Structures are given as C-alpha cells and as structure tokens.
C-alpha cells in the first residue's frame, strides 16, 4: 500500500522522532510511505476554541493535501479524530462534504491501521521495559481504541505490560484548556502521573503525542524517573 503520512503539527516541530518511527515501522512492513509537504495542521486548536471558520479553512486545505491518497495514517488519535469525526461536522451543508466523508473513510490512527486494517499485531519490535499504557481520550472515546494498542505492545519482545489506575482518566491536556485553565490541567496531570508512577512501570506509552507532551512535561518537572514514549517509537525499537 502507499501510505500517506499525516504528521501532527507539533510532532513535526517538537517530537519528529514519533513521525520517523511511524514511517520506519510502515516501511519495514513493506509499504510505500509518502509525506505530502503541503500539510501543516489539522486545525483542531481553532476548532476547540470555537473559531470554526479557521478550522473549516484548515479542513478544506486538508482535503486538497490528501486528495487521491490511498490511505492516510497519523500517529495521533486526536488529530485523526479531528479529520474523521469533526471535518464532516465542520463541513455539514458544504459542497465538499462528500469529499470529507471520503477522506474520513481512508484515514486511520497508526495503531488502529496496523491492527484493524493490516491485521498485524507483531511488527518485530524488541524493547526491554515495564510499560503502562495511557488511553488518550480521543483514541478511546472518539475512535473506540482500547484493545488495539495493548495487543501491539504485548507482542513486543521483552516488554511487560501493566495496567495503571486511572488508565482511562483524562491527562488534562485538552489543547488550549491546558493553558487557559492551567490549575485544573495541572491537577489532572498530577492525578494521572501519580497513578502512572504507582503502577511500577518504567515507561508510559500513549498513541497521543499531545497527551505525552502533558504527561512527560509534568513528570520531568516533578523529577520522576518514569519516562514517556509514543507507541510508534516502541514499535520501531529493535
């Protein structure tokens, strides 16, 4: 398959290794991977802030950018949820609504693509680590992903998976919420991170780089030993 990468804006700029890991895993599985440079941001920050005109423009651009792509895969459940669930809502009544629905039908979150589309759980990864998985809210509730990332992690050689309390509790990022209501966001980070530390894991893994920004940012500031990695980085480990 020719997979067109959908790289979230802040992965592009702040955590590019997540995107590189995604590309590597897909290539190792024998797929052609492309990156259309015209992409920038799915528009979610504006969507969540209620500036839907800006978000709509972003959506229409995305339709142009990914026109004709066989399949679009992104290592971010929240960005994929934006494209799959919210672009059609943004473009309700718009002449290009059908295009948006068509794009939605061929856009996948990375872990979802591996398990549900390719039917693969073992990508040949190897990582000695005790891991706990954080369920990002978009992946869990908008895309219905709960088992898929866990199956992928369990197939990694040397990796032991433990569940933490509050696994399904929001980390508190929520985009602009994290800085518009920072005291609440930080309190939520504290609850989440305390539970992650209590799990005894060395590593927190998530499919959402924005959650990892929040969780990793809090853990580092608090001087905790537990580290964070994106699911793609784990699956690229050899």
Partner 1 sequence: MSQPHDQFLADATNATADAPQRDFLRKALGGYYNSRDTQKARYRDWEHARDAAALAKWNAVNRLDRTLTTFAANFERNGGKVHWARDGAEARAIISQICREAGAKAVIKSKCMTTEEIHLNDALEAEGYGVVESDLGEFIQQLRKEPPFHFVFPCMHLKREAISDLFTKHLGTAATDSPEELTMIARRHLRQLYVDADVGISGANFLVAETGQVSITENEGNARLTCALPRVHIALAGIEKVIDKLDDLAVLLPMLATAGAGQPMTCYNTLYAGPRQPGEPDGPTEFHVVLLDNKRTALLADPEQRDALHCIRCGACLNVCPIFKNIGGFAYGTTYQGPIGSVLTPHLRGLKSWNHLSGASSLCGACTEACPVRIDLHHHLLHNRRNAALAHASWFDRIFHGAFGWVIARPRLFALGGRIFRQTLPLLRRLPLPYLTTWLRTRDLPEPPVRSFRDEWKGSKR
Interface ranges with partner 1 (CB under 8 A): 7, 9, 11-17, 19-20, 23, 33, 35, 37-41, 43, 45-54, 57-58, 61, 137, 140-142, 168-191, 213-214, 216-218, 220-221
- Kindly tell me which of 13 and 122 has the beta carbon lying closer to partner 1: 13
In 3D space, the residue among 84, 88, 9, 91 whose CA is nearest the CA of residue 45 turns out to be 9
As measured in angstroms, the least distance from the Cβ of 193 to partner 1 is 10
As measured in angstroms, the least distance from the Cβ of 237 to partner 1 is 18
Instruction: For residue 227, count CB atoms less than 10 angstroms from its CB and return exposed for 0-12, middle for 13-18, buried for 19 or more.
Output: middle
In 3D space, the residue among 47, 49, 48, 219 whose CA is nearest the CA of residue 62 turns out to be 47
**Exposure of 53 in the CB half-sphere (CA atoms within 13 A):** 0
Element (H, E) at 78: helix 77-81
As measured in angstroms, the least distance from the Cβ of 187 to partner 1 is 4
In 3D space, the residue among 162, 160, 157, 159 whose CA is nearest the CA of residue 125 turns out to be 157
Q: How far apart are CA 82 and CA 43, in angstroms?
A: 8
- Kindly tell me which of 38 and 68 has the beta carbon lying closer to partner 1: 38
As measured in angstroms, the least distance from the Cβ of 183 to partner 1 is 5
As measured in angstroms, the least distance from the Cβ of 160 to partner 1 is 26
Q: How far apart are CA 135 and CA 145, in angstroms?
A: 8
- Kindly tell me which of 91 and 156 has the beta carbon lying closer to partner 1: 91
- Kindly tell me which of 9 and 97 has the beta carbon lying closer to partner 1: 9
- Kindly tell me which of 54 and 71 has the beta carbon lying closer to partner 1: 54
């Amino acid at each position: 398959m020719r997979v067109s990468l959908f790289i979230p804006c802040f992965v592009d700029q702040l955590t590019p290794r997540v995107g590189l890991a995604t590309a590597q895993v897909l290539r190792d599985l024998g797929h052609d991977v492309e990156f259309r440079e015209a992409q920038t941001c799915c528009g979610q920050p504006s969507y969540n802030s209620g500036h839907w005109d800006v978000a709509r423009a972003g959506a229409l651009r995305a339709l142009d950018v990914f026109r004709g792509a066989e399949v679009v895969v992104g290592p971010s459940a929240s960005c994929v949820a934006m494209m799959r669930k919210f672009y059609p809502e943004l473009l309700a009544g718009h002449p290009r609504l059908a295009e948006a629905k068509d794009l939605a039908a061929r856009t996948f979150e990375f872990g979802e693509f591996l398990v549900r589309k390719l039917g693969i759980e073992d990508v040949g990864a190897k990582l000695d680590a005790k891991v706990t998985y954080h369920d990002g809210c978009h992946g869990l509730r908008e895309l219905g992903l709960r088992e898929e990332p866990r199956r992928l992690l369990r197939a990694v050689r040397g990796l032991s998976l433990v569940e933490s309390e509050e696994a399904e509790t929001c980390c508190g990022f929520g985009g602009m919420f994290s800085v518009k209501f920072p005291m609440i966001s930080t309190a939520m980070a504290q609850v989440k991170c305390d539970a992650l530390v209590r799990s005894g894991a060395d590593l927190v893994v998530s499919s959402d780089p924005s959650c990892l920004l929040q969780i990793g940012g809090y853990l580092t500031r608090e001087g905790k030993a537990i580290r964070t990695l994106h699911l793609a980085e784990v699956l690229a480990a050899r």
